[in-house]
């Protein structure tokens, strides 16, 4: 038997094994362990275990009254410590089945890298596997992954409230890349809009159904936003009245046209500000005397305008255009939009 302690005690066993724990960031020793053994054979066995856990250990030989000299330095023999295990996978139960292969590695990072690549390649090939990396010294699982986390499901649902949870899936297909899955989902929404079909489409990694990567509804309507001095095709497209009204609110707060409209409101609703023999417009006086109050007032005014705009936008019919302070919104059918997936960079430039 051997004794393990982290403090120095009087113990005159023939051999002592010293090992150190090192910081992964600084490389400096942060812990010192001492283990005593009664024979060289036992000391070498213990030293190898310590070296595998910490990288290096030293066998010390007792020379005189608790004094020890270094006898051997033991390097870790990790040639087969980390084992990559690959299993076939039952996609229904998500349980690992038969073992397909096992490989030993001397380095944990290499083993994990190989395992990760093995899973990705299997997913691309359409195989179903699970790969794990195990530290055989401690039986700790350092890595675990399945091909399902590298496959992406596109599910289309019926959004009706009275549909049953287990029967409302209209379609469900799996793809090998996230990009492909999202493109398919967008195309499915476009088709639904053309057919006036009400559906909801969700994309998620097959192994993580509760963590959607993309969601979209077919509503049949879209709102084209554009300014007086831009063409309609340079505007942005949003898909709800709330989004359109919020874009209007942002426009009022961030554009020159918005601040000019706010200034006109202040000047019309308040008398001129007189200081001595000089008179100032209320908007100019407020902005220069208290710019914080000026911006707070602008924000409050924009919020009130948002409510008025939302009221009008919600009551639009196809082809209608409403406009406020140089900002315009047109209600269109999504099927009429040339590029459903386009970003809104032109809108930002136009603004």
In the prediction, which pLDDT does 334 show?
Answer: 57
- Average the pLDDT over 159-187 and give the result: 71
Lowest mean pLDDT among 141-150, 166-175, 342-351: 342-351
Distance (Å, rounded) from C-alpha 14 to C-alpha 43? 9
264 band by pLDDT with thresholds 50, 70 and 90: very high
Distance (Å, rounded) from C-alpha 132 to C-alpha 170? 35
- Average the pLDDT over 167-180 and give the result: 77
Say yes or no to pLDDT of 160 above 70: no
CA angle 54, 55, 61 (to 5 degrees): 85
Q: What is the pLDDT of residues 270-326, one digit of tens each?
A: 999 888 888 889 999 988 999 999 999 999 998 988 988 888 888 888 778 888 888
132 band by pLDDT with thresholds 50, 70 and 90: very high
Asked if residue 33 lies in contact with residue 4, where contact means CB atoms within 8 angstroms, the answer is yes
The order of strands in the sheet holding 140-146 is 95-105, 82-90, 129-135, 140-146
Name, in order, each residue with C-beta under 8 angstroms of 258's C-beta and a sequence gap of 6 or more.
Answer: 251, 252, 298, 302, 325
134 band by pLDDT with thresholds 50, 70 and 90: very high
- Which H or E run includes 244? helix 241-254
Q: What is the pLDDT of residues 281-294, one digit of tens each?
A: 999 998 899 999 99
Q: Which two tokens stand for residue 10?
A: 């009087």
- Which H or E run includes 58? strand 56-64
Say yes or no to pLDDT of 239 above 80: no
- Radius of gyration, alpha carbons of the chain: 35
Distance (Å, rounded) from C-alpha 192 to C-alpha 194? 5
In three-state secondary structure terms, 53 is helix
In the prediction, which pLDDT does 240 show?
Answer: 76
In the prediction, which pLDDT does 27 show?
Answer: 62
In the prediction, which pLDDT does 292 show?
Answer: 92
Neighbours of 164 (CB within 10 A): 7
In the prediction, which pLDDT does 342 show?
Answer: 42
Sign of CA dihedral 101, 107, 113, 114: negative
Q: How many residues does the chain have?
A: 351
Asked if residue 143 lies in contact with residue 133, where contact means CB atoms within 8 angstroms, the answer is yes
Structure-token match 């997936």, residue found: 341
Say yes or no to pLDDT of 5 above 80: no
Q: Report the mean per-residue pLDDT for the chain.
A: 78
- Average the pLDDT over 25-46 and give the result: 80
Distance (Å, rounded) from C-alpha 245 to C-alpha 251? 10
In the prediction, which pLDDT does 343 show?
Answer: 44
Phi, psi angles (nearest 5°) of residue 39: -140, 155
Lowest mean pLDDT among 82-86, 118-122, 166-170: 166-170
């Amino acid at each position: 038997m051997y004794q393990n302690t982290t403090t120095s005690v009087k113990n005159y066993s023939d051999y002592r094994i010293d090992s150190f724990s090192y910081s992964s960031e600084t490389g400096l020793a942060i812990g010192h362990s001492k283990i005593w053994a009664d024979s060289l054979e036992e000391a070498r066995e213990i030293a190898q275990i310590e070296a595998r856990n910490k990288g290096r250990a030293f066998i010390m030989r007792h020379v005189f009254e608790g004094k020890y000299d270094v006898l051997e330095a033991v390097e870790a023999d990790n040639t087969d410590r980390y084992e990559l295990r690959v299993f076939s996978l039952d996609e229904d139960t998500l349980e690992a089945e038969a073992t397909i292969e096992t490989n030993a590695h001397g380095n944990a990072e290499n083993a994990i890298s190989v395992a990760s690549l093995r899973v990705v390649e299997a997913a691309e090939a359409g195989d179903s596997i699970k790969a794990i990396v195990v530290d055989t010294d401690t039986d700790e699982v350092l890595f675990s992954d399945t091909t399902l986390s590298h496959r992406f499901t596109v599910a289309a649902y019926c959004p009706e409230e009275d549909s049953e949870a287990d029967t409302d899936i209209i379609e469900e297909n799996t793809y090998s890349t996230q990009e492909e899955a999202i493109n398919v989902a967008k195309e499915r929404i476009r088709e639904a809009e053309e057919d006036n079909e009400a559906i909801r489409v969700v994309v998620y990694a097959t192994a993580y159904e509760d963590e959607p990567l993309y969601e979209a509804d077919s509503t049949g309507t879209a709102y084209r936003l554009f300014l007086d001095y831009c063409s309609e095709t340079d505007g942005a497209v949003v898909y709800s009245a709330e989004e359109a009204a919020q874009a209007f609110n942002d426009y009022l707060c961030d554009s020159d046209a918005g601040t000019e409209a706010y200034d006109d409101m202040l000047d019309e609703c308040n008398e001129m500000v007189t200081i001595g023999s000089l008179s100032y417009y209320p908007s100019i006086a407020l902005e220069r005397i208290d710019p914080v109050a000026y911006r707070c007032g602008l924000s409050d005014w924009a919020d009130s305008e948002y409510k008025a705009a939302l009221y009008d936008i919600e009551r639009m019919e196809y082809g209608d255009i409403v406009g406020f302070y140089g900002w315009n919104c047109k209600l269109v059918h999504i099927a009429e939009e040339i590029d459903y997936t386009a970003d809104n960079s032109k809108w930002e430039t136009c603004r």
